[in-house]
Every structure is written in C-alpha cells, then in structure tokens.
Amino acid sequence: MTAQGKLKEILASGQFVAAPGVFDMFSARIADRFDFKALYMTGYGVSASYNGYPDAGISTYTDFVRCAGQIASGTSKPLIADADTGFGGLINVRYTVRGYEAAGVQAIQIEDQETPKKCGHTKGRRVLPIDDMVRKVEVAVEARRSDDTLIIARTDARTSLGLKEAIERGKAYARAGADIVFVEAPESADEFRRIADEIDAYLLANIVPTGFSPEVSGVQLKQWGFDIAIYPTLGMGTATAAMKAAYGFLERNGSTIKLDVPFMTMAELHELVGFEEVWEFEQRHGLAPK
C-alpha cells in the first residue's frame, strides 16, 4: 500500500472521501498536491486521453492497468480505479483484481454491465443478470491478496431497470462481499437519499455535472450516509475547455499575447514534472552546464 495510508482505514475512521478524477500524470500530480484523501482514476478519461477512444469497452485491461500503475507510483494518495466490467468473465475478473492490486490500486471498481460496456452517463446500457454479477463480486473478493484492497461493486441498472432493481442489486453485491456499493446515475436527490437509507455498506456517489444525476454537495451526501464521492469529469472537463479556449485564441489572433486563460509558467511546469530532481542529479554527478 502507498505510504500515505490506507483507504480502508480512512473509511473506518468515518472520514468522508472526495476523490477528484485523474486520467494522466499531469492531472494526477496536480490533484495529488491538494488535501484530498484519495484520487479516482476515471476510465472515461483514460480511454479518451490514452487511446482517443470513447468509454465504450474499447480500451483494454492492459491500457488501464498500465495507467493505474503509473498514477499510483507517481502520487501519494490512495488510488480508486475504474476497472470496467473486470474486462471479461470470471477468470478475467480474477486477473484484473490481482493486476490492479499489484499496480498499487487500493479500491477496484467493477460494474455489472454487459460487455462491451458504456459510460454510465450514456443511454443504451444493458446489465448482466444479477446472479452473474454476484459471482463476479465473489471472485473479486476471493482474488485479492490483501484485506486492505477494497472491492467496489457498481450497478448500472437504474437507467434501464429502475431504482428499485438498482437498490436490490446493491444489496446483493454487498452480501456477496463488496466493500463499497456504487449505484450509478440516480436521477434525483431523493434517489440518492433512498440508496443511502436502504443499502447497508460503504456507499459511493458519482458526481457528474451535466450528466444524469443532480449535483449534490459532499456535506449533504455524508449526512445521508454516503462515504465517498468521485468527480471523474472535473479535471478532464476543465482541462479540455481551457485547451479549446487557448487553441482558439491562437487561431484567431496568430499569437498568445493577452491570452486570458489560466496558464502554468514554464517554471511551474518544470517543478510539476520533477525537473528539480534532474538538475540535482546533474549537479551531483558533474553533468550540470558550466
């Protein structure tokens, strides 16, 4: 586990966890500098930034576990990571859990969609029979080598089958051993409240502005009984908007003079990516320029 502590212990202490979405090393290192208790590796963001693919089950286990390992090794916070459907059947789930665990992930999120899956805030998602997902959860729990590794069971049943079915699935996944239950895409504040009232497990809320769910504050979620809120689109939404504005300014003006977009200086970028370590190494070994 990472040096800063274990997510399992943070949750056991009753602290509410707000985890910003990260998808590459720029986003991960920036988020890591703030006082968050965990980071969340977003599958949507990784699929789009790493491969240029939509979050539609096209990116692979290899893509995701590599990114998870890079982020976990390059940051100091516990990492929660999207693992889609476990990338296949029961044997795939087993290897996914062990691979993510070895990469340094502390909480592994597996969902009950059919393969290929889709982003949880898109239409047309279909879910597995509940018994099939229960077996996936049981395999995931059995596969982990450390009790400190947490299994998150997500259900996408709300959109196609309704809230009652989604809650029943959440209960079943908790009985199967999931440490954390994630009911995707509630459609009102009252639905968030019902989920918290009816499912006895650690609960995760997905906050996606402009998605299917309303925005609810962390304070309110904690009062209702949620333990974690993830914000997967926060980093990629703001970063891509800023890049679009900056590139558009350059196209229109032929210059970056008077660009009115938040901007890191070269000194700040050097510090963020770790050039100080390179320069210190060069000085110690006589490689620095005279």
Q: Is 261 left (phi over 0), alpha (psi -120 to 50) or beta?
A: beta
The residues, any chain, with a CB within 8 Å of residue 95's CB and separated by 6 or more, are 61, 143
H helices, E strands: number in the chain: 13, 8
Third-level CATH fold of 7-232: TIM Barrel (3.20.20)
Locate the domains of the chain by residue range: 7-232, 240-284
Distance between CA 278 and CA 290 in Å, rounded? 16
Which pLDDT tens digits describe the chain residue by residue (290 residues)? 444 679 999 999 999 999 999 999 999 999 999 999 999 999 999 999 999 999 899 999 999 999 999 999 999 999 999 999 999 999 999 999 999 999 999 999 999 999 889 888 888 789 999 999 999 999 999 999 999 999 999 999 999 999 999 999 999 999 999 999 999 999 999 999 999 999 999 999 999 998 889 999 999 999 999 999 999 999 999 999 999 999 999 999 999 999 999 999 999 999 999 999 999 999 899 887 76
pTM for the whole structure: 0.95
Task: Select from 188, 184, 151, 180 the least CA-distant residue to 166.
Answer: 184
